[in-house]
Amino acid sequence: MKISTLKELLDAQVLTCEENMGKHVYSACGCDLMSDVLAYVKDQAVLLTGLVNPQVIRTAEMMDMICVVFVRSKMPSEEMIRLAEESGIVIMLSNKRLYEACGILYSNGLVGNKVKP
């Protein structure tokens, strides 16, 4: 799914790296625990979170994510915006709650990663 499609589906505002809106993501992860993101995210994924902390951007960078969506209209700090711009990570804001945002993306074909038992 193109990042531009995520923006439309989530009625989101783009804060950084608008030039990357044509890139694709292949799965999504809705999480506020960055340790879970590190443990379970595979492939090119978009991270949806309500956690506003520089570790979110650093985790996304480590996992080669190219898009982070902050839900519940959470506003990232200037430091987070700067880190995202330096890493080429698209940051978007959505007023939707995490559960709703994940449901919208899932119902439109963006899957999550399979968790191994």
Give me the CATH number covering residue 14. Answer: 3.40.1390.20
Residue 82 is which amino acid? Answer: R
The answer to whether 14 and 90 have CB atoms below 8 angstroms apart is: yes
In a domain, 116, yes or no: no
At residue 7, the pLDDT reads 97
Q: What percent of the chain has pLDDT over 90?
A: 68
- Assigned token pair, 30: 């809705």
7-56 tens-digit pLDDT: 999 999 999 999 999 999 988 888 887 777 776 666 668 999 999 999 99
For residue 22, what is the DSSP state? Answer: T
First vs last Cα of the chain: how many Å apart? Answer: 27
In a domain, 58, yes or no: yes
In a domain, 115, yes or no: no
In a domain, 112, yes or no: no
Q: How many domains does the chain have?
A: 1
In a domain, 19, yes or no: yes
117 pLDDT tier (thresholds 50, 70, 90): very low
74-106 tens-digit pLDDT: 999 999 999 999 999 999 999 999 999 999 999
The residue range of the domain holding 79 is: 3-107
In a domain, 26, yes or no: yes
In a domain, 75, yes or no: yes
Cα–Cα distance measured from residue 60 to residue 45, given in angstroms and rounded to the nearest whole number: 9
In a domain, 114, yes or no: no
Residue 106 is which amino acid? Answer: Y
> Which of 1-10, 11-20, 106-115 is the least confident region?
106-115
Predicted model pTM: 0.89
